[in-house]
Amino acid sequence: MRRAGKERKNGMEIADLSRTAFFQGLTDPEIRSALEALCAFERTYRKDEWILSAGDTTQVMGLVLTGSVTIEHTDLWGRRTILSHAGEGQFFAETYATLPDAVLLVDVRANEDCRILFIRISRLGSLSGRMEPWLLRITQNLLRISMRKNLRLSRRSLHTAPKSARSRIMSYLYAVSLQKHAVSFDIPYDRQQMADYLNLDRTALSKELSRMKADGLIEYRKNHFTLQANTRTQEEER
């Protein structure tokens, strides 16, 4: 098991937790009760440290307090595919944590220095007999989180379905633009991570980005992209 990190018992800000999807609708006293009942604890990680590893099992899901993580799959030949990204306030491993006998098929890695709050949601079943209002709210919130995660994974399958590198890139960038309601935006990946997410070779990705810039489709600098006004017209004509 490749789990590292430094555990912390304190430092969990209740006011910040109340704004996350998992604790939505709970009062501060209810959040404290939930943290205690679900054996929550905090751990810190350095960039590129493993948080969860394929082949392990887990009874906890993670809430990113600061920083971000990537959810990855590495095949038998060492080829990495980035499946998802979780930033501040987002969760990971909630499905595996509700099925503690299920073996993880993915790795979770610190994308940068981060703090993670681990929550033992495998205890929800044993707590179901308690007449606590927060139990129902948390169960409903957990269902919404899982549904949103399924949508994100479905979006990735749409981005990797096209055969050409350009179509994959445009599918992803246009989706981000729609989500952010802007034509100029940052993406959470560097070039290698973007290539892994779109299932492309990094060199092929870089070359195609340069061609798209020369064709007037996009502008970019590092992880900041701008879609040009004629992007959709040019893509429809291709």
pLDDT tens digits for range 174-228 = 999 998 999 999 999 999 999 999 999 999 999 999 999 999 999 999 999 999 9
**Superfamily name with CATH number, domain 6-153:** Jelly Rolls (2.60.120.10)
Instruction: Name the nearest CA neighbour of 92 among 51, 32, 126.
Output: 51
- pLDDT score at 80: 87
The pair of three-digit structure tokens given for residue 189, joined into one six-digit string: 């990946």
- pLDDT score at 146: 85
Residue 97 three-state SS = helix
The one-letter amino acid at 1: M
Beta-carbon count within 10 A of 193 CB: 19
CA atoms within 13 A on the CB side of 165: 16
CA atoms within 13 A on the CB side of 238: 13
Percentage of residues in the chain having pLDDT higher than 90 = 61
CATH assignment of 161-237, among 3.40.309.10, 1.10.10.10, 3.40.50.1100, 1.20.1050.10: 1.10.10.10
- pLDDT score at 233: 45
Reported as a pLDDT band with limits 50, 70 and 90, residue 229 is low
Rounded CA-CA distance 95/106 in Å is 12
Domain with CATH 2.60.120.10 in the chain: 6-153
- pLDDT score at 126: 76
- pLDDT score at 128: 67
Asked if 16 contacts 64 with a C-beta cutoff of 8 angstroms, the reply is: no
Using alpha carbons, list the distances in angstroms from residue 135 to 99, 146, 174, 184, 198.
Answer: 18, 17, 38, 41, 38
Domain with CATH 1.10.10.10 in the chain: 161-237
**Which residues are CB-neighbours of 129 under 8 A, at least 6 positions away?**
none
Asked if 87 contacts 18 with a C-beta cutoff of 8 angstroms, the reply is: no
Mean pLDDT of 18-41: 92
